[in-house]
Chains A and B, each alone.
Chain A
Amino acid sequence: MTPELGQLALILALFLALAQSVLPLIGAWRGNRALMAVARPAATGQAVFVALAFVILVSAFLRFDFSVQYVADNSNLQLPWYYRIAAVWGAHEGSMLLWVLILNVWTVALTLFSRRLPDAFLARVLGVLGIISTGFLCFILFTSNPFARLLPMPPDGADLNPVLQDPGMTFHPPVLYMGYVGFSVAFAFSIAALLGGSMEQSWVRWARPWTNAAWGFLSCGIVAGSWWAYAELGWGGWWFWDPVENASFMPWLVGVALIHAQAVTEKRGSLRAWTILLSLFAFSLSLLGTFLVRSGILTSVHAFASDPRRGTFILGFLAVVVGGSLLLYALRAPKVAGGKAFALVSRESAILIGNLMFTVAAAMVMLGTLFPLLGDALNLGKISVGPPYFGLLFPLLMLPVVLLLPFGPYLRWGNSEAPVLKQVLVRAAIAAAACAVIAAFFVQGQLKAIAGVAGAVWVGVGVVLYIVKRWRDMSRGRRYPAEMAGMLLAHFGVAVFLIGVMLSESLSVTRDVRLSPGQVATVGGYEFRFDGVSQTTGPNWTAEQGVVTVTRNGAPVAVMHPQKRTYAHEQVQTTSAIDPGITRDIYVALGEPMDPNHVSGAWALRLYTKPFVRWIWGGGLFMMLGGFVSAADRRFRVKREVEATQAVTATLQESQA
C-alpha cells in the first residue's frame, strides 16, 4: 500500500465529512428526511477512510518505509515493532491523524448507540461533528500531511525520541485524546439543542453518558501522562503545571463542573443555559489545548515543533468553531430560567458552588498559563509562572469543594433538612480530627501531611457513611444505581488522591549522593548500598546499569537497577529504577561517574523515598472508574415513549409562545 493511497483516503474522508456536515444540517433545518438520512452513512464512510489512512501509516512504520518523511523522522531500523506503532502518534502529523481517527470512533459509536434520538436532533449532532472533522482533515491535508515523501529515501531513519519509548507514553496519547475529543459529543449535543430551539431537558439525559465516559477517559489519560513523567523523566515529579499539562487539565476541570451541571439540568430542569455553556467551554478548551501544543507560542518540554502557518490555521478554526458556538449561544440560549426552584441549602446550591470553584480554577490555570504571553503583549517584561503560583492557588480554590463533598449525596434536591447534614458533619469531623491527631505522631508535625489526612478522612468517611445509609435504607438491587455508584467511586477517589498528594509532597525525601561501590547512604529510613556499574544492552540501546541494594534496618527490601541508556545518534536517556509500594515508592536515578575515565569508581546518584505517591494515580483511577460506571447507568438507555410525546408538546408550546 503506497503512502499516496493514505493521502487519497484522507481526501475521500474529507469529501464525506463535508457531506456529513452540510447535508444533514440543511436537512434538519428544512425537515428534509432524505438529507438528514445522509448523516449516518456519511459518518460511517468517513470513519472507514480515516481508519484506512491510519492503517496505511501504521504499516509504513512497520515496513520501515523511510521514503515517507514522517516515518524517517520518527523511527529507525533498530526501533522495536511496538514502539514503531507508538511512533505513529509520536509527533505532530501522526498525532493529528490519531485525533481525527478518535473523533471518528466517537462519531461511529454515536451512530450505533443512538437509535432513540429524534432524527433531526441526531442529524444536527452528526453534522456538527462533521464540521469539526472537516476542519481537522483540511488541517492535515493542507499543513500537516503525514504521508509526505522524502526522496531520495534514506537508508535509515532518525529515531523516536527516547523519552517516548515507554509503555506509558504509548498509552497516554490515545487515551488522552479519547477524553479530549470525547467532549466534542457534549459540544455537538449542545449545538444541536441550540439550533433546534427546543429546550426540553431530555437531550441532556442523552448527553450525560457520553460526557461522563469522555471525562473518564480524560482522567485516565491525565493519570497516564503523570505516571509516565514520574517513571520516565527521572526527577520524581508527577506534575509540573507545564503549559501542555495545563492544556489537558483545563478541560478536565470544566468537565467536572459539566458532569455535575448536567445532572442538575437533567433531573430538575434548571441551569439549562449554564450547562450548555459549560459543554461549549469544555470542548473549546480541548481545541485550545490542541492549539497551544502545536502553535509554539508557549515554551514547554512537550511542545511539538512549531510552525506559524499551522498555528494560524488552528487559530482560525478555533475562532470559527468556538466563536460561532458562543455566538449561537448568545442568540439561542434559553433566556428564561426554567426548571424547579431550589433553596439555599440544597444539592443544586452545593453543585452550583462546586461549579463556581472548578470554573474559577480553570480560569486561574488559563491565566497563569497565558500570562507570559500577556506579558509580552502588554510589555510587562518576561515573566515566568510556575508551580509556586499554581500550587498555591489551586488548593485554595479546591478547599471549599473538599469541605462540601461529604454533604453532596445527603443534600436533597430542592430543599434539604439540617439534622441529617449535622449528623454527617459531626461524624466526619470527629473522624477527621482523630485521624489527624494520630497522623501527627507519625509525620513529625508536617502540617501538609496532617491536613491531607484530615481532608481525606473527612471526604472518605462522608462516602462510607452514605454507602452504609443506602445499605440500611434500601432493599437489595435498589441500593446503588450505577449513577450513584459512579459518584461514590469518584468522590472516594478524591479522598485517595488527597492522601497521595499531601503525604508525598510533604514527606518525600531526596538526596544527591556520591557513592563508591560498597558505600551506603541513608535516605528516609532506608539504607542504599551502591554495588557498582556494569554494561548491558537492549533492542536499540546500550546502557550503563548500576546496582543498588536497598535495606531497612538491615532487612532486604529491593535490588534496583538504574540505567543510563544511549540510543541512536548518541541520545542519552536516564532510566530510573523504581521499587513500587502501596505505602511508598523507592526511586533511584543514576547520574555521572565522578571520573569519566574511571567508570568502576564512584558515581553520583539521586535517591528518593516517596510515601504514598501511588495513591495519586490510584485516586485518579477511582475517578475514572466513577465516570465510566455512571455512564453505564441503565436509566440513560431506557426508551421512554412518554418523554418523546412530552418533547413534541414542549416544542409546540415554545414555538407558539
Chain B
Amino acid sequence: MSRLLPFFAFMLLAALLGFGIWWNSAHDPTAVPSPLINKPAPDFALPMLDTPAKTVSKQSLLGKPYLVNVFASWCFACGEEHPVLMAESKDLGVPLIGYDYKDDPQDAKAWLAQHGNPYDMVIADTSGHTAIDFGVYGAPETFLIDGKGVIRYKRIGPLTPEVIAQQLKPAIEALQKEAP
C-alpha cells in the first residue's frame, strides 16, 4: 500500500500544476493584490498639473467618494485605457481624478491635449514618492476611495468596459448606498 504513495503524491502535484495553468490563463500573473483595500488612503498633498501652485490633499477630498486613475504619457497601456475613460467617465457618477505618475508635466499636458482629458482634475506626482504610499507599482492603476478617505477598490491594469460594468460600477453603487 505504501508503494502507491509516490503515485498519489505525484497526482496531487499534477493537480496543482494543472491548477497553475488554469490560474495563469484566468488571471494576470504579475498583478499584486493590494493590502490597502478597506484601509485609509495615505495622506497626500500633490500639486495640480495645470496650476502647480494649487495643492490637492486628502483632506480637501473628504466627504464624497472619488476615483483616482494613475496614468502617464510614457505608459503604453494607459493609451489603451484612455478611450474607455473618455467614453465612460461621465457615467460613473463620481469625480475622476487623474494621477500623473513619474511624468514630465509638459509631456503629460501634451498627451492630454492630444488624446483628450476625461479627468475632473489632474494631480502630478513627478517623483513617484507619494505613489509608493498608495502601493502603486506601475500604470495604469485605479483606486476607488470613499467619502471617509478609505480605499475600497483597486484595479491593476487598464480599465475595460467589462471591468467597469462588472466590478467598478457595482462598487460605486455599493458606496453610494452607504452614504447617508
Which A residues are closer than 8 A to B by beta carbons?
Answer: 273, 277, 280-281, 284, 291, 295-299, 306, 308, 311-312, 315, 318-319, 322-323, 326-327, 329-331, 333, 335, 370, 373-374, 376-377, 381-382
Contact = CB atoms under 8 A, between A and B. Distances in A.
B16 A327 contact: no
Given A318-B14, A322-B10, 19 more contacts: A280-B6, A281-B6, A297-B17, A306-B24, A308-B25, A312-B18, A315-B14, A323-B7, A326-B6, A326-B7, A329-B3, A329-B6, A330-B3, A330-B7, A331-B3, A373-B23, A376-B20, A377-B20, A382-B33
B7 A284 contact: no
Contacts, number: 75
A16 B6 CA distance: 32
A308 B24 contact: yes
Interface in B146-177: none
Nearest to A277: B6
Interface SS of chain B: helix, strand, loop or mixed?
helix
Interface string B119-141: 00000000000000000000000
Nearest to B32: A382
B16 A370 contact: yes
B113 interface: no
B30 to A, nearest CB: 8
Contacts of A296: 24, 29
A377 B25 CA distance: 14
Given A315-B17, A329-B3, A323 B24 contact: no
Contacts of B30: 299
16 contacts: A273-B3, A284-B10, A296-B29, A308-B24, A311-B20, A315-B17, A319-B11, A319-B14, A329-B6, A330-B7, A331-B3, A333-B3, A370-B13, A373-B20, A377-B16, A382-B33
Contact of B19 (A280, A306, A377): A377
Contacts of B21: 295, 297, 308, 311-312, 315
Contacts of A315: 14, 17-18, 21
Contact of B14 (A299, A306, A323): A323
A281 to B, nearest CB: 8
Contacts of A374: 16
B87 interface: no
B4 interface: yes
A84 B18 CA distance: 35
A542 B23 CA distance: 42
**Ranked 6 nearest A-B pairs via Cβ:** A297-B20, A326-B7, A330-B3, A330-B4, A311-B21, A308-B25
Contacts of A327: 7
Nearest to A311: B21
A373 B16 contact: yes
Contacts of A273: 3
Contacts of A295: 17, 20-21, 24
B54 to A, nearest CB: 32
A373 B17 CA distance: 8
Interface string B14-53: 1011111101110001101100000000000000000000
Contact of B23 (A291, A370, A376): A376
B117 to A, nearest CB: 31
Given A329-B3, A377-B23, A291 B29 contact: no
